[in-house]
Amino acid sequence: MKTLFLLTLLTGPAHAEERALPAGVELLEVTEAPKGGVAKVNLDLAGASVRSAIRLLAEVGQINVVFTDEIQGDVTARLHDVTWEDAMATILLSKGLTVTPVPGPSTVFKVHPIEP
C-alpha cells in the first residue's frame, strides 16, 4: 500500500514548505485506498480541537462538513491503520456527535450532537 502523504508537526525554516498541522495533531498519515476501497489513516491526536480533527478527516475523505455552534472541545486519540471513515466515526461518537447530509442536492454533511 502506497503512502499518499505524511503530515507531521515540523518547525523551523527548513520545513517552511511543509503544511503545518493544527495544534494537538501530532501525526496524520494517509495510505492509498485499494481499488474500490477506502483510504486508511494513522492519526495521533493529543488535545486537538474536535473541529480540527474532523476537518482533517473530511479532507482525507473528500467530503464537505459544516459544524453547528455546539461543537467544541478537545479530543485525544491514537488510531493506527483504520479507514478514515472509522476514524471519523470513532471521534464523533467519543464526543456524542453525528453527521447528517444537508437536505437538497448537496454533498455537504452537518456535524451536530446526537439527539436524545
Domains of the chain in sequence order: 3-113 (3.55.50.30)
pLDDT score recorded for residue 56: 93
Report the predicted TM-score, pTM, of the whole model to 2 decimal places: 0.79
pLDDT tens sequence for the chain (116 residues): 444 444 443 333 444 345 678 888 888 899 887 887 888 999 999 999 999 999 999 998 889 999 999 999 999 999 999 999 999 999 999 999 999 999 887 789 999 999 87
pLDDT score recorded for residue 18: 53
Count CB neighbours of 36 within 10 A: 5
CA–CA distance, 50 with 69 (Å, rounded to integer): 13
Q: At 89, is the secondary structure helix, strand, or coil? A: helix
Sign of CA dihedral 29, 33, 88, 59: positive
Write the DSSP string, 7-39: EE---SGGGTTSPPPPTTEEEEEEEPPPTTS--
pLDDT score recorded for residue 88: 96
pLDDT score recorded for residue 114: 94
Which stretches of the chain are DSSP H helices? Answer: 50-61, 84-94
